[in-house]
Chain A
Amino acid sequence: MTLLYFAWVRQKIGRGDESFALPAHVRTIAQLIEVLRDRGPNYRAAFAEPDRLRAALNQEHVRFDAPLRDEDELAFFPPVTGG
């Protein structure tokens, strides 16, 4: 799948996008966060407080219980501040 990061999530992780093979046991965004958190201190910092994050799946806002497929585009970001 394609993972995208924006604003301080991007800065903490140190990149804006990456390809990631969705592990077979990961069904939801909440479960994926647990996996991503173990990828290093930068990921741990970005995903330390999931409550501060929002997600979009294939460019639509979703909750963390949304199911995932390997062909998805998943974005993590803080609450939006446009306008």
Chain B
Amino acid sequence: MKTIRVQTADFDGGAECERLVAGQTDIGAVVSFTGLVRGDDGLDALALEHYTGMTEREIARHVQQAETRWSILGVTVIHRIGRLAPGDRIVFVAVASAHRAAAFEAAQYLMDYLKTRAPFWKQEHRGADAAWVEAKESDADAAIRWRES
């Protein structure tokens, strides 16, 4: 099962994992990652903008890439947009596979690519100030390690 959602609403990671494995007995491992809004330096809120259409296509393309590299039995990717407060869930990736190595690696691969390729932009709000988040070199490095030589 493949699920890709971009939404303003919150999600329930536990329920998403259960949905991912429901009715399947060939799955031996589910790895999930939940990203939260960190309240750095008095952050009041994050506002997330995205490129409708391209976001879903770009995520789907990387899910397909993951499927060619690992033996995957199910994937769920959820990314929230709009205004989020510190502590809020922002992103969710879950991968189901027969064995744990594939599930761990594919989940990390998808997160690394979400960070560097999926067209989302974060703006940090502190009081009356709003500042766009700069892309991190460390995120680019994390994605580069998955490149096949």
A contact residues vs B (CB 8 Å cutoff) = 4, 6-8, 56, 59-61, 75, 77-83
B133 touches A83 (CB 8 A): no
A80 to B58 CA separation, bound complex (whole angstroms): 12
Task: Assess the A82–B51 pair: CB atoms within 8 A.
Answer: no
Contact of A78 among B48, B53, B91, B132 (CB under 8 A): B132
- Tally chain B residues at the interface, Cβ within 8 Å: 28
Instruction: Assess the B53–A59 pair: CB atoms within 8 A.
Output: yes
Q: How far is the CA of A79 from the CA of B134 in the complex (A)?
A: 8
**B28 CB contacts on chain A under 8 angstroms:** none
Report whether A83 and B119 are in contact in the complex, using a CB–CB cutoff of 8 Å.
no
Whether the Cβ atoms of B51 and A56 lie closer than 8 Å is: yes
The majority secondary structure among interface residues of chain B is mixed
A24 to B58, CA, bound (A): 30
From B49, B54, B139, give the contact of A59 (CB < 8 A): B54
B53, B115, B132: the one contacting A8 at CB < 8 Å is B132
Q: Is B104 an interface residue (CB 8 A)?
A: no
Closest to B136 in A: A81
Assess whether B122 is in contact with A59, with CB atoms less than 8 Å apart: no
B21 to chain A, nearest CB (A): 24
State whether B118 touches A6 (Cβ < 8 A): no
User: When each residue 43-70 of chain B gets 1 if its CB lies under 8 Å from chain A and 0 otherwise, what string results?
Assistant: 0000011110110011000000000000
Instruction: List chain B residues, Cβ under 8 A from A56.
Output: 51, 54, 119
Within 8 A of A (CB), among B68-122: 79, 90-91, 111, 114-122
Q: CB-nearest residue of chain A relative to B35? A: A83
18 more A-B residue pairs beyond the given contacts A56-B54, A82-B121, with a C-beta to C-beta distance below 8 A:
A6-B121, A7-B49, A7-B123, A59-B51, A60-B57, A61-B117, A75-B51, A75-B54, A77-B51, A77-B121, A79-B134, A80-B116, A80-B119, A81-B120, A81-B121, A82-B50, A83-B79, A83-B120
Bound CA–CA A60/B54 (angstroms): 7
Task: Considering the complex, give the chain B residue whose CB is closest to the CB of A16.
Answer: B49
A83 touches B111 (CB 8 A): yes
Which among B53, B57, B115 is the interface contact of A82 at CB below 8 angstroms?
Answer: B115
Roughly how many angstroms separate A18 CA and B119 CA in the complex, as a whole number? 19
